[in-house]
Amino acid sequence: MSESPTIASRIPMPIPVLEIGAGGAPALAKAAPDRLGLILAAAEVHYTRIGLEIGDRLSRRWFERAENPYLDEIAAAAACLHHVPAGHAGVRAGAYLLNLSYEWTCTTAVAPDPTGRGNRMLRTLDWPLDNLGRALVVARQEDDAGPYLNVTWPGFAGVITAMAPGRFAAALNQPPAIKRTFSCWLDWAIARARVFQSRALPPAHLLRRVFDTCRTYAEARAMLIETPLCLPAFFTLSGIAPNEGCVIERTEDAARVRESPATAANHWVSFPFPGWPRGEASETRFRRMSEIHRRAPDGFAWVAPPILNATTRAAVVANAARGVLWVQGYESDGPATAPLVVP
């Protein structure tokens, strides 16, 4: 039976841990069709059905022209939309747009773990799309470099937040749109036009490649610094030694690195770029996370305003040295899932 959004918003749901191995986005979509339908039903409200269909066609065209390495996975996940539960009938578009969407705002930090064992990453993800918190899953994936735990949603081929036990943890934040004109919307359109001229990887697909292929913190750091991107990004990386941690601020072809302990929100720190604000109170969230993250206990007591806000959809604590991941989903009215601890 499909989940009712009204009921799900009142009852914290468990976060499933899905064993998908090397199956990627299609295996994930097939493993949780109810949650896939829940996300796309909300996306249809957020973008409108026409907007979702147009965005999907444009996104698919870009993936094809860029010869994106995950295109086949996304196409297979899109085919799963024809088999979503009856409660979400009619939803047929969205998989391609979801995989090129880049609207989230986040607050992330790395520092030596308070226990003295390894480095630890704290992270919240904010996105103004309903149902993401209650549809959250943890996918246990595996590729050439070994297994990892991907905090994600059905239908998504990239990686936004993940932890590979014994290797590293990492997360992706969105920078502000660079100010080139007097208008935020005009600058957004310019940035999108630049994306459609690029054949480089989207940031979430680069992070997927890192977890699939990099066996060490050093390899992951080098790939995140050196690989061209189609969009700017902030990457937070946490290794297994206490001093292995950094925030990497990326443009399409350049990088600047801040070493652990370090914090990232949604404004430039290392590059002198003026930018349009992303999300709520980026600098305020940054300051608060900088104050608390080195002493915060495991769990989610630290998830409070201003870091917590109405668009917060997930909170994560990850320590790759200890091999432990804490996850909780949120909606605008508070926790949407029970806390999950994956050893």
Q: Is the pLDDT of residue 95 over 90?
A: no
CA gap 142, 123 in Å, rounded:
23
Interval 142-190: pLDDT, tens: 999 999 999 999 989 999 999 999 999 999 999 987 666 666 656 656 6
Quote the pLDDT of residue 343: 87
Q: Of the candidates 274, 224, 266, which has an alpha carbon nearest to the alpha carbon of residue 248?
A: 224
Residue range 2-9: mean pLDDT, rounded: 41
Query: Span 300-323, mean pLDDT?
Result: 97
* Domain boundaries of the chain, sorted by first residue: 15-22+103-184+197-342
Predicted confidence (pLDDT) per residue in 196-232, tens digit: 778 899 999 999 999 999 999 999 999 999 999 998 9
- Report CA Rg, the chain: 18
Q: Which amino acid is it at 18?
A: L
Helix (H) or strand (E) holding 142: strand 137-143
Query: Burial level of 197, CB count in 10 A (0-12/13-18/19+)?
Result: exposed
314 and 125 in contact (C-beta within 8 Å)? yes
Distances from the Cα of 274 to the Cα of 242, 277, 283, angstroms: 33, 9, 14
Q: Which residue type is seen at 337?
A: T
Would you call 47 helix, strand, or coil by DSSP? helix
What CATH topology corresponds to 15-22+103-184+197-342? Penicillin V Acylase; Chain A (3.60.60)
Lowest mean pLDDT segment, chosen from 16-30, 183-197, 276-290: 183-197
Q: Is the pLDDT of residue 117 over 70?
A: yes
Give alpha helix (H) positions in the chain: 5-10, 24-31, 33-47, 49-65, 71-79, 95-98, 184-197, 203-213, 217-226, 282-292
Confidence of residue 79 (pLDDT cuts 50, 70, 90): confident
Tell me the mean pLDDT in the region 245-264. Answer: 97
Mean pLDDT of the chain: 88
> What pLDDT, on a 0 to 100 scale, did the predictor assign at position 2?
41
Measure the CA–CA gap between 106 and 172, rounded to whole angstroms: 8
